Every structure is written in C-alpha cells, then in structure tokens.
Amino acid sequence: MSAASDVGYHAQRHARWHFGEIAFWVLVLACGFLFPSRYLIMTDIVRLALFAMSLDLILGYAGIVSLGHAAFFGVGAYSAGLLALHGIIAEPVLALIVAGLAAMVLGFATSFLVIRGVDLTRLMVTLGIALLLEALAERFSNITGGTDGLQGIEMQPIFGTLAFDMFGKTGFFYSIAVLFLLFLFARRVVNSPFGLSLRAIKNNPLRAAAIGIPVNRRLIAIYTLAAFYAGIAGALFTQTTAIASLDVFSFERSADLMLVLVIGGTGYLYGGLIGAVIFRLLQELFSTITPQYWQFWIGLVLVVIVLVGRERLHRWALFVPNLIIKQVAGRKAVIAVPESDA
C-alpha cells in the first residue's frame, strides 16, 4: 500500500461516523425531553458549545491562538438584534444567516491582520479588534443602545409558524438544530483534504508550505469560516435571550471560551461541546458556593489545568471509558483526544 493511499485510508476511517458519536447526539436530543424545566440553561450551553466549536476550528485545527473571538460573537449578536429590532429581516432563520455573514465579512477583513506575525502579534491583534469593536459599540450608542444594550427586541416565529415561547422550548430546539447542522458542516470540512491541510499547517507551517499548501489562503479561509460560526452563535444569543449588550464583546467572554475549549480538548470538534457542558455546570456550582467571586474558582481551574497538563488530564478523564470499551469490545479503545494540542 502506497503512502498516499495509506493516509487516505486512515483519514477515511477517521471520518466515518462512530457509534459513540451517534449516541452522543441521541443523548443531547434526549436531554431536551428529559429536563423540560431546564430549557434556558440548556440553550445557554448549546450557544456556548457552538461558540467553542468556532474557536476550535481555528485553535484546534489551524493553531491560531485568539484572545478576541468575542468580536465575531458580538457582531453576530448586534446584527441579529438590529435586524429584529428594526424589522429589516423579521424571519429568525434568515436573520441568523445574515448575522453570520456579517461576522464572516469582518472575519475575512481581519484575517489579513491575523495571518501576519507570530503568536504574540496574533494575540494582540485579535484582542485589539475585540476591544476596538467594544469601544465602537459604546461610542455609537444611538445605534447600539450604549451600555444599556439593545432593548425591546421581539422575535418573530421561526418560518412564520414556530413562535418563541416563554419557557424557551422553541429556542432550545432551534439552537440544537442550528448546532447540529453547523456541526455536520464543520465535521465535513475538517475531514476533507482541506481540513487535513490545515492540520499540516498547524504542525509545521514551513513544511506545509514546502509541500505546496497555500498556507495563508488556508488560514484566511478557516478564520473566515470560524468567524461565521461565532457570528451565528452570537445571533442565537440575541434571538433566544432577546437582548444584546456591550458585554458580548468583553474580554472575559473570550477568556472563558478558551477555558471551555481547554476543558473539552481541542482538535476533535466534540471538545467545545463537552467543554461547554462541564463549564456551565462548574459555573453553576461555583456561583452557588460564592455568588460574587466565582471568577476566582474559574481562574483556579485554568491554573490547575495548565499545571497538571492538558494531555495528562484528558488521559485521566478517558481512562475509565477506555477501560470499559476494552473490556466489552475486547479491542483497543477508539476514544482518544489528539495529542498534538496547540
């Protein structure tokens, strides 16, 4: 078997749907029916998961460390809010896509800044863009509502038939549907030759360029796509909560997002999803212990994760599931987090 077909074979095997993945999505859907009183928090988790998946696309697959991913989230959130508030596009799904496209345009424009320079410059530029947008949103308070945020947003029914209810049931299933569709697309993208070339770039940009991968163009493409995803997540935020305030741009949002992804693990798409669940549960736990100072514990979790080492932590977390799989199926475990974290 030649090397090329060997790689292709493994890539294809990896891209196939595993039993565990199907079980995961069935479980997610089941949650919607099992906990009918928890729609609001579950919607929140779904939004966060989508947002984290967007960061995973650039961090886990392309190795771009961003401290300002909230910029796209914010643009999506405000676009969706403004579209609904002024009745420009009343239909939520259409508005969602338009908001995503708005973030995408920003992502495309700023990607040229991001691909220049090394890690540090990227950190600064992404952070700077988010801060810049926050300052802009504050400055043009006649459009954005300033520190009060956009108020009085009323959402029209989805497709003109499914109305948003006060328990958040529609919102939850709407968010789940969006998440699943975008997940399918992301899965397709990262398992395509394009996705493989991104991993090559992440591992060694110089070598990737040497074997003929157009590094910069690939990075621009994935950054733009990730911006689109983040914009959708932001738009979902506005549509399901009916508010958009300045804190959508905040640094804390970007920092929390990194924590979500780090908890879940980068580079296999499910990291953001699992991380979002764990993060929200942790946050709930901490805010019941010390309501005002939960940030302290979040910080502690970050420090501990880094000091223990992310790979080691994921090995520990997967030890029991892998043991079970080994015993039951009698073969080597299939669940594994990719070792090469950014």
Partner 1 sequence: MTSILTNLFDGVAYGMLLFVLACGLAVTLGLMNFVNLAHGAFAMAGGYVCMLLVNKSGWPFFTALPLAFVSAAAIGVLLERTLYRHLYTRSHLDQVLFSIGLTFMSVAAVDYFMGSSRVFINLPDALQGQFDFFGVGIGRYRLMIIVICGLLTVALQLILAKTRFGSRLRAAVDDPRAASGLGINVPQVFAFTFAFGCGLAGLGGALSAEILGLDPYFPLKFMIYFLIVVTVGGSSSITGPFLASLLLGIGDVAGKYYVPKMGPFVIYTMMIVILIWRPNGLFGRTAAR
What does the binding site for partner 1 look like in residue numbers (CB under 8 A)? 59, 65, 67, 113, 116-121, 123-125, 127-129, 131-132, 135-136, 138-139, 251-252, 255, 258-259, 262, 292-296, 298-303, 305-307, 310, 341-342
Residue among 41, 51, 100 nearest 280 (CA): 41
Give SS3 for 150.
strand
> Considering beta carbons, is residue 174 or 279 the nearer one to partner 1?
279
Whether residue 268 contacts residue 338, with contact meaning beta carbons closer than 8 Å, is answered with: yes
Host H or E run for residue 6: helix 3-15
15 C-beta neighbours (distance < 10 Å), count: 14
Whether residue 179 contacts residue 32, with contact meaning beta carbons closer than 8 Å, is answered with: no
Mark 299-329 as b/e (b = at least 16 C-beta within 10 Å).
eebbeeeeeeebeebbeebbeeebeebeeee
Give SS3 for 162.
strand
Amino acid symbol at 256: D
Residue 79 sits at φ, ψ, to 5 deg, of -60, -50
Task: Let me know if 271 is exposed, middle or buried by CB neighbors in 10 A (0-12, 13-18, 19+).
Answer: buried
- E-only strand ranges, 93-229: none
Give SS3 for 242.
coil
Whether residue 38 contacts residue 169, with contact meaning beta carbons closer than 8 Å, is answered with: no
The DSSP symbol for 66 reads -
d(CA 188, CA 194): 10
Dihedral (Cα; 221, 223, 224, 226), 10-degree rounding: 120
> Considering beta carbons, is residue 35 or 293 the nearer one to partner 1?
293
